[in-house]
Structure 1
Amino acid sequence: MASSNFKPALIIVDLQEDFCPPNGSLAVPNGRTIIPTVNKLLTLPFALKIATKDWHPADHISFASNHANKKPYVDFTTIVNPANASETYETRLWPDHCIQNTPGAELVKELEVEKVDKIVEKGMRKE
């Protein structure tokens, strides 16, 4: 039985220019095709509508360009938790993408962003 206190939220994850054709540095093929559906969802009465953005500094650890002789999609690096050096994991290296204050980091222009309640920027630390 559903609770009458149920208040669904909508979270739009990283619908940014660098993740979409035609010019995105990390474009998902046909990535723009979901925009009309997302805009339709934004017209529904969600309790909260959030959009997230990768918002990386140019020296972000996940960019292959920040590691000598490393290639995007091919090479990996070790991420260390700055608060606990015993916590580590391996991650793939990527092309530069969603760099703060660049066109590629912007939410796609077709998104009806005025219907979004909150934009959350993430990945803002270089490490």
Structure 2
Amino acid sequence: MPEEFTEQELHNLAMNVVGKELEKEGFEFMTVNSKLKKDPQFVCLKNKKLHFVIVRAISYPNNPATYDVTYMEIVKQHALNFKARTYYAGVGIANANDYSKAVIKGDKYIINFNGITEI
């Protein structure tokens, strides 16, 4: 019987995608939190400035670029207390064989990630 990825496993996939991008862009990781519903996922330094990055795994057909504006404003206000900049990173994940089906372990999947967005 095919086993679907759990919500936490999809989140971990998204974390890996974003982590690699942040590394490539020269961010230095201060803390990494991969627990679901625990924000921010990444607290980084770049150019001596603090950055908070919120990561979300988004299932098809939802748009990974769309985020909860109200919630992100709350996170941004929290970040400002630390003089930090706030970013959103939505990672779309879909079953490569059939977008309407769940992502199955062992099957191919597609990642839709267009970088981090400053809030």
Greater relative contact order (CA < 8 Å, ≥ 6 in sequence): 1
- How does the TM-score come out when normalised to structure 2? 0.33
Higher strand share: 2
TM-score for the superposition, normalised by structure 1: 0.31
Q: Which has the higher helix share?
A: 2
